[in-house]
Copies of this chain bind each other. A is one copy, B any other.
């Protein structure tokens, strides 16, 4: 699908982004795909470092994710959570017994001085993921959600409060001091990239943290590779998660066009769902190339088809 020696960089958050990353994994050689994952969702819980988006991507690319529940590991059990409840520990974050093993191993390796990049590589290796999965940064960044109930850590907003409080804005704690993951910067500054794909993830809490790591946005702007986003909004709704709700609360139309406008001049191309083709002209008027495709990824074949569409679309851009 892409020229020899070329690579694709995918930026993604959790479930939605991981679906497209899986599609890309199916059609590219392992050394042709680098997936950079949001770590703004990461938090410490019961003394463990938990990286929800990295885990979702890792489990999905390993084929271990639970496709029915939509998150976590297939065949998961919950004995430990029951025991935690009996001991009066916080149980609002659903920790599965198998998932817990990931957090334990990661936390211990981090405590022993390994970087999040090294830990992620080692976990991916053990789970048979050969694609390069990178955290956006090895430094701690913690997404804070400003809401009408005050500021909440992302998982507290997302899981504990089930996205109920109305959002007024976001803050990425620690972002000024964070360095981009070194391989990411090298990739962006090199000349091997065929495409930069912004997966259909939440623009505010999944993609913005990555773009906000100092140096990343600029490097993306300066890259010769086309930057192509896939809309996380289909027919005014997000497939999963609070994207549409957040847009409404921040007085933005919950539309594909509004997402394209939000990314703005960062984008060379935008892929929106067939149902939203009436928004194509508006997006094109912003100087962004538009392509429509079936973006609702229900089956694995849907993920592969969309990934192929993204790469075909990327080849229509004359590299700057």
Contact = CB atoms under 8 A, between A and B. Distances in A.
B108 A47 contact: yes
Contacts of A96: 79
A255 to B, nearest CB: 41
Contact of A105 (B46, B79, B122): B46
Of A76, A79, A122, the most chain B CB neighbours within 10 A belong to A79
A104 B79 contact: no
What interface size band does chain A fall in? Answer: 20 to 34
Interface of chain A: mostly helix, strand, loop or mixed = helix
Of A76, A80, A88, A123, the most chain B CB neighbours within 10 A belong to A80
Contacts of A98: 79-80, 82-83
A316 B10 CA distance: 80
B126 A87 contact: yes
Contacts of A88: 105, 122, 126
Nearest to A47: B108
Interface string A63-102: 0000000000100110111111011110000001111111
Of A97, A100, A102, A123, the most chain B CB neighbours within 10 A belong to A97
Contact of A83 (B81, B83, B102): B102
29 contacts: A46-B108, A47-B104, A76-B79, A77-B77, A77-B79, A77-B97, A79-B79, A79-B96, A79-B97, A80-B80, A80-B97, A80-B98, A80-B100, A80-B104, A82-B98, A83-B97, A83-B98, A83-B100, A84-B104, A86-B126, A86-B127, A87-B105, A87-B123, A87-B126, A87-B127, A88-B105, A88-B126, A89-B104, A100-B100
